Amino acid sequence: MWQGNSRAPGWLRLSGRWLAVMGVGMLLMLPAVASEVHVTRYSWHTGIVIAAEDLTAALDFVPDHLGEAPYYEFGWGDAEYYQRGEDSPWLMAPAALWPTDSVMHVVALPDHPERYFPASEVEHLTVDQEGMEAMNDFIADSFARTEDGAVEPGGPGLYADSLFFTGEGRFHLRRTCNTWTVEVLAAAGLPIEPAGIIRASSAMDAIRAMEL
């Protein structure tokens, strides 16, 4: 029986290669996946809000401790002052004068941060996938760990669905909660400088000054 030539005609092989190249080109032309990050400010403090869908494996312990929610807010600060939940600068003074222990505060937000914090200032930023992964890693590294690598939950947080955790790093005059917030953004690759950021107003001014 005549079997003929099993190879495809030259024009067909060339067409297949052209389509493959075009397919790769189209994939490269697709816009990079980007996510929205929110920075909240209330009184002397700032925090970072990330959508649950943007949490990476580095922060997969968060829903386990706080339950499922569409958004989570993260804040870092002085262990004693932060947990008091008071906004007096006189109470903050001892924490700023010498290095103190830190805590992480995590809030499970049942709604968009602008609706959950109606009296707070909220800024919105766009972060690419690589930046989001770096942001998750930085926040995760701000939690103290036990010898087996587990986070250390503390007492109840400032809101109904919130908790304090033992923090990593020391709080002092040159590294406040607002410095930490800007450090998170810088870790994500955003054009912002944490050095010199102490007050909440300075952090928000620096965020608004970014050319994004």
200 Cβ contact list (under 8 Å, min separation 6): 41, 43, 44, 45, 46, 178
Residue 211 pLDDT: 61
The residue whose two tokens read 């067909």 is 12
Global pTM reads 0.82
Angle at 73 between CA 55 and CA 149, to 5 degrees: 55
Alpha carbon of 51 to those of 42, 70, 111, 181, 192: distances in Å? 20, 6, 10, 16, 22
Residue 7 pLDDT: 53
User: What are the residue ranges spanned by the domains of the chain?
Assistant: 34-209
> What phi, psi does 15 have (nearest 5°)?
-65, -40
Residue 134 pLDDT: 99
Across the chain, where does the E strand assignment appear? 34-42, 45-51, 71-78, 102-109, 121-128, 153-156, 162-166
Residue 94 pLDDT: 59
Q: In the chain, which stretches have pLDDT less than 50?
A: 1-6, 11-12, 14, 16, 19-31
